Structure 1
């Protein structure tokens, strides 16, 4: 026989041995499959395999159950001579009724009955019994007075003796229900592995005479190994037979059981033995009852009988609602899975759906990142857009012309401010910084490079004004006159340009005449000087500015006073350059009612003589101390101009003059000022004097009032009397209508930063 044939024979031999081993294993295992005809219930007790009723219905002889007829036609199962109550495959236990050992007093002989004092807990199970008393679920219990109960295992391999003593005092009322701690009842644990068929129980009464026993009124004592959970001590057990009668001398006990004598590892290796764990979804566990052997149980997620093929079935855990109320349960083979709503995460430790912190943080961070990205992109786009808008505003407002001129005229003291600079200077246009409000804008006090300034936010401008704004700013910036507020600069990168003037801190001429200083009765000569300074400023605008400038809103509220009470003409919001053609007619009349030129209101053409008319109204305020227009009283008395012209026509000037003026000055001076005012208020503009003629006339009239050296000293004294030296932060105000104080409030103070103007 050659080598190849030998190899073939060797392979065939190995295959044959393998098949033989499989057949042996299958045949050995097949002996454990119960017959389908086996009875699986006796009375109300289920008898699952490996237990069985009848031949070849159980795993081995120790698991045979007999079903015996009972009372009322109900059958009862018995195992090892004990009535079987139930079988647990999961816990590998059975419950049986275990005999109680009594020790009773005999009334007929008045002696102790020793015959019932000892019980052998034996059975008809052979020495290889699979049952052991459960040391976890049972306790040795003794009931009685002065009674010693003992129990022991008479197996020579594991001899054991233990017990407990139950004591009673003279007063049985000391015992309490549900307390088995030595007073009338005692309990003690039993050792692991105590055999079911080799336990002896003894009850020993320690009282010597029947008289002493009678004194307790107690007849019997008891000892039993029973299920701890089924026992609940009552004091009536001591002096009655209630404990015995409840179970007819028997008490439930729990027995552990196991299969065979080998461990799981040994049985699995032994091909000739019968492995009892037949179900494919079962597991083998070594016995923990103190004896050799093993038990079977279904794998996790399965339930049923692990001792028969396919006996372990998948458990639908979702029927028991193991998941949180807001979760969803999905059954799987041998297990289940809980899922939670979006945004929540299942927590196995406490079986709850908690907020998914990781998901929330991730989504939040992603959202924040997206928002930051969008915000940054939006900010960049807005900055670019704003920059373009500012550049467009700068171009429209003549900024390029300004810069070109500033380069060519190096001595030009004019600054083009950025919007950010003016925001910072005025603390973001804080309301507390407002020093004036009117129809042409709002004036704020600001600080630029440690220098106080007045920042004016103008109202909307028409297209013509926007086109000419740069040129007009150049002209205004070149005006340098002591009686005109200096324009320091402007801001062109906003929709409506902002103007920056020098800051004049000491109030207005309106306040000096009508406001808080009225009670001082300012000398007429001082007011006349201030009026002349106003005329000088207007004369400069009309005659020396190139091109000439028409103020357009001359009034006492726009005449500021510096530290020396020198007049400063301010607020050029309504100003225009002297018209050079017919196209420069205004489409909307601007100014303040009471000061407006009637001819201007009719023709909508602003001229130099319009400023003259307004100055005439100022002269009336100096002469009369009254406001130009009253909103109360008789209608014919509301206009100061009408009252004055009527008084002049009737040659009754004293009706409108202030009383203190007639006391201070000569009638010739007063009459001269009145005639000058009348000429300024002429309805026809061409008949009105020019500002040059007005300044010359005022200069002449002032010389008539007093000698020059006396005049100078008087004015210095008057300056000290004024409140011009007080700290005040008022700036010129503007409006189209003025509401003046009522007579009863004429002597009250007025807030320098407030305005009596209704826009």
Structure 2
């Protein structure tokens, strides 16, 4: 649009097509008298007309008062310009092109705006503004360097000078050579000094961290009985059989004891699955707490278990004493616990009667070995189906010996807090707090009953007097009603004579009077005979006289898991049972 503001004026715009003639695009503005004021456009005091797209070279404003028959112009001032009118309110379709901006000219003419080039640009804003090369007029000092930039320019000083290099700025100020070299030298020295300082601090930190870690490991090693183990090892050569692992090695084997490596959790700690650097899979037992008063007993357990070599006992491979709590490393047994297989008897591995009897024989042989065949008798003290593992060939392996301690050879029992797992505790031990070798026999008797019945040692769903599996079993035996408590699969697969023989043996193991319980060696031999009777048809009467354990310097017992307080009235009732006479057919 060409817009004219004023009175008695004629605005003419000449384009390329009309520059050689007097023609073009025009509009005239008119006012009646002095009272007329500029209002809307077009109207009084304002005219406008559209122009075609193209390049316009001139806008001419002519006085027309004489043409209208006036003696003079009503208003001396007039204005003509080229501008734009918005097609719609808040429209974004302005005509301003590249490197230009838009301004509103008058508030009285809503929607009228004009395009102008940005600072540093020139040309037609309706077509697009071009950058002005300010360096053409060299705005920098004579020996400065001018660099043109979009919409502006930059001056730089030559080497040895500082400043902005502009004529109307600070210019360029010489820098003395000695001062410049000194500044560079000081800067380089400061940078190198800072680098050396940071490097020194880093290595000092690493050194101190490594030293603290080493001191911490040495502290734990001494506190966990490392020196005592060295002394015992020198006398008995134990470390030739037991490996001392570093904490770094075990952290790498377990992904820093990741939760994904946890095999199980008990009252005393966690068991993790790990893989050593040689590819061997191991189980790592990490205690939750450590009792510094029991360090000697803990070292005795390592010394003891390192010498236990039996196919039905989980092998202790070594230990780590560099951590806050000691770590024990055992061989990994892959097929879970006997408890799991009894509770989840699936088609993939059906726990047949023959398999149950085989497991009973293997566990009894392991316990008999610990009680009477080792240099120092070992009492497990927490025999239960969760502590009996099955390897890749489903061979039973006794595990989790806890912390061992020794007593004088002339003692027949150990007086201590009652510890073990409810449902497997010997009532005599529970009442008198005196643990003997027969306490392991009682716990094994509960395991035998589990194998026979497939039931849990404690059932909270039943009435209080029937919660104990041992109690229910003994009541069935007294009532000559064994069939009602046996597992259906056992009834289907086992011979009547075998089932009765094993049940009577379990009954003897559960006798309240420890003196009337069989020794573990007797239990193992009787179970072996029952197992042999499955494949032999010869008949023989076998009766074993009571066997005495050989005397030794000390007796070791296990100290593990839960603590129970003995109270009267918690004794499991049972009748006296005569020694079993086994007849094989």
TM-score normalised by the chain length of structure 2: 0.58
Is structure 2 residue 11 aligned with structure 1 residue 184? no
Instruction: Give 2:518's aligned residue.
Output: 689
Structure 1 position 624, deviation (Å): 1.1
Question: Is contact 1:178-1:234 (8 Å) kept?
Answer: no
CA distance in structure 2 between the partners assigned to 1:172 and 1:628 by the alignment: 112
Conservation of the 8 A alpha-carbon contact between 1:511 and 1:517: no
Alpha-carbon distance, 1:590 to partner: 2.4
Unaligned 5+ runs, structure 2: 1-7, 12-21, 31-44, 49-57, 81-169, 171-192, 539-559, 564-585
Q: Who is 1:431 aligned against?
A: 259
Q: Which structure 2 residues correspond to residues 107-256 of structure 1 after superposition, within 5 A?
A: 173=28, 182-184=60-62, 215-220=67-72, 232-233=77-78
Distance in 2 between residues matched to 1:507 and 1:145, nearest whole Å: 107
Q: 1:444 aligns with which of 267, 272, 280?
A: 272
Q: Is the 8 Å Cα contact of residues 551 and 574 (structure 1) preserved in structure 2? A: no
Match of 2:242 among 409, 414, 421: 414
Q: In structure 2, how many angstroms separate the alpha carbons of the residues matched to 1:575 and 1:613?
A: 19
Distance 1:641 1:678 in 2: 9
Residue 543 of structure 1 is matched in structure 2 by 372
Corresponding residue number in structure 2 for 1:560: 389
Taking only aligned residues, the RMSD between alpha carbons, in angstroms, comes to 4.1
Kindly state the Cα deviation for residue 546 of structure 1 after the two structures are TM-superposed: 2.2
Question: What is the 5 A alignment of 1:595-610?
Answer: 595-610=424-439
CA deviations over 1:207-226 (Å, ceiling 9, x no partner)? xxxxxx9644142589xxxx
Cα deviation, 1:43-77, whole Å, max 9, x if unaligned, reads xxxxxxxxxxxxxxxxxxxxxxxxxxxxxxxxxxx
- 8 Å CA contact retained: 1:472, 1:577: no
Hey, what does 1:469 align to over in structure 2? 298
Q: Shift of residue 480 of structure 1?
A: 0.9
Question: How does 1:281-300 map onto structure 2 within 5 Å?
Answer: none
Q: Deviations over 1:546-604 (max 9, x none)?
A: 22111111111111111211111111125544664779956543221111112222233
Deviations 1:479-506 (A, max 9, x none): 1111101000001112221100011111
Deviation (angstroms), 1:735 = 6.3
For 2:352, the equivalent position in structure 1 comes to 523
Query: How far has the Cα of 1:402 moved from its partner?
Result: 2.9
Q: CA deviation at 1:647?
A: 1.4
Instruction: Note if contact 1:558-1:571 (Cα within 8 Å) is conserved in structure 2.
Output: yes
Match of 1:589 among 397, 411, 418: 418
Question: Contact between 1:487 and 1:501, CA under 8 Å: does it hold in 2?
Answer: yes
Separation (CA, whole Å) in 1 of partners of 2:354 and 2:562 = 30
CA contact (8 A) 1:419 1:491 kept: yes
* Offset at residue 462 of structure 1 (A): 2.6
Work out the CA distance in 1 between the residues paired with 2:348 and 2:68. Answer: 120
Q: Is the 8 A contact 1:550 1:606 kept in 2?
A: no
Q: Is the radius of gyration larger for structure 1 or structure 2? A: 1
Q: Which of 214, 217, 227 is the matching residue for 1:387?
A: 214
Task: Describe the shift of the 1:467–1:372 C-alpha distance in structure 2 as closer, same or farther (beyond 3 A).
Answer: farther
Distance between the aligned counterparts of 1:641 and 1:556, measured in 2?
A: 14
**How many residue pairs are counted as aligned between the two chains?**
389
| Structure 2: distance between partners of 1:181 and 1:626 | 110
CA 1:574–1:373: 2 relative to 1, 3 Å: same
Q: Contact (CA 8 Å) 1:550, 1:578: kept in 2 or not?
A: no
Distance 1:560 1:480 in 2: 16
1:371 deviates by 10
Q: Aligned match of 1:501 in 318, 330, 342?
A: 330
Q: Normalized against structure 1, the TM-score is what? A: 0.46
Deviations 1:134-156 (A, max 9, x none): xxxxxxxxx9999xxxxxxxxxx
